[in-house]
Amino acid sequence: MKNDAGKWEKFFKWINGETTLDSVILAKSRRKRFLKRKLRQQKAQIMANKLKRSKRKIENVICLIVAAIFIGILLYTASGLPICGRWENPANNEVTKRYIEKGVEETGAVNLVSGMILDYRAFDTFGESCVLFTAVICVAILLKRDKNNTDITEDTETAEDDAISNADGNLILKLSAKIVTPFILLYGIYVILNGHLSPGGGFSGGAIIGAGLILYTTAFGQESTRRFFTYETFKKISSGCLLVYCFSKGYSFFTGGNHLESMIPLGKPGNILSGGLILPLNICVGIIVACTMYGIYSFFTKGDI
């Protein structure tokens, strides 16, 4: 009855023109949603507490025992393995020998690891870039703003946070970011370009550049990064680089598989322009990784690039 009376009151109000229908319905649904969420939260709390006490303990003990046995078996297995650090181990066989002794000559890269992952076993590395690409697409599916993924409270929170960080100026952060970011980016570029000559390469360099971009964004806000890096550029750059990667690797697999001579000169080992396809591939991977890392970060924080 009480409820009905409420409804009638609202109805009269509406007839009298005091409220509009939309606002009534909206307020109602919003309150309902809010209540439901709160209820869920409480339920989750109670459940968590209840479960922790009873069932969990027994399961844990059983799992612990099983895992202990498992670790024991693995340790026993490993105890029969060849001793670490010896030259005669089976892992150091003719494959290793060729990679080391002929690596420089065949791939043109002085850094043998780089030569190995981008030339001898390039298919793995192609798969690896695809994993990264897939991951960023998945993060975009999950976190890019859409109608399933909007939360008013969260939006207000981020807006407030932005306001706070803009208000107090964040002087220390901004100043240090201004000084440090160029050096981070420079270092990242150095690591990428010297991937075939010294430790590092596309992936680590790209991660460093990505970290630099993230630092810049945290200091100056996303708006400042958006001036030169939007979602559209992100899409174009990363897919463009992956396509270049795909085609150049496709070319070398095609020529290799059909026993054709590759037309790409290897250059003089030790020079910056050497190593055949390794340098361009490293640059592509670096750009992809930098875009990906920055992209994932901005999807996490703002839900958009």
Cβ of residue 94: shortest distance to another protein, in angstroms? Answer: 7
Q: Which of residues 8-67 bind another protein (CB under 8 A)?
A: 37, 40-41, 43-45, 47-48, 51-52, 56, 59-60, 63-64, 67
239 binds another protein (CB under 8 A): yes
143 binds another protein (CB under 8 A): yes
Q: How far apart are CA 293 and CA 291, in angstroms?
A: 6
Structural tokens at position 107: 């791939």
DSSP labels, 268-281? -TTSSS-STTHHHH
The nearer residue to another protein, 10 or 239, going by C-beta atoms, is: 239
Can you tell me which of 177, 181, 185, 191 binds another protein, judged by CB under 8 A? 191
The nearer residue to another protein, 19 or 41, going by C-beta atoms, is: 41
173 binds another protein (CB under 8 A): no
Q: How wide is the angle at C-alpha 224 spanned by C-alphas 281 and 235, nearest 5°? A: 35
Can you tell me which of 131, 167, 172, 263 binds another protein, judged by CB under 8 A? 131
Q: How many CA atoms lie within 13 A of 265 on its CB side?
A: 6
Can you tell me which of 18, 22, 146, 168 binds another protein, judged by CB under 8 A? 146
* Region of residue 265 (phi > 0: left; psi between -120 and 50: alpha; otherwise: beta): beta
User: Cα–Cα distances in Å, from 288 out to 195, 204, 213, 243?
Assistant: 15, 11, 13, 11
Q: How far apart are CA 298 and CA 305, in angstroms?
A: 5
141 binds another protein (CB under 8 A): yes
214 binds another protein (CB under 8 A): yes
The nearer residue to another protein, 31 or 40, going by C-beta atoms, is: 40
Q: Which of residues 66-125 bind another protein (CB under 8 A)?
A: 67-68, 70-71, 73-87, 89-101, 103-104, 106, 110-114, 116-117, 119-125
Give the torsion sign (CA, 241, 244, 247, 252). Answer: negative
The nearer residue to another protein, 60 or 166, going by C-beta atoms, is: 60
Q: Which of 207, 193, 168, 202 is nearest to 271 (CA)?
A: 193
166 binds another protein (CB under 8 A): no
Number of Cβ within a 10 Å radius of residue 92? 13
Cβ of residue 7: shortest distance to another protein, in angstroms? Answer: 22
148 binds another protein (CB under 8 A): yes
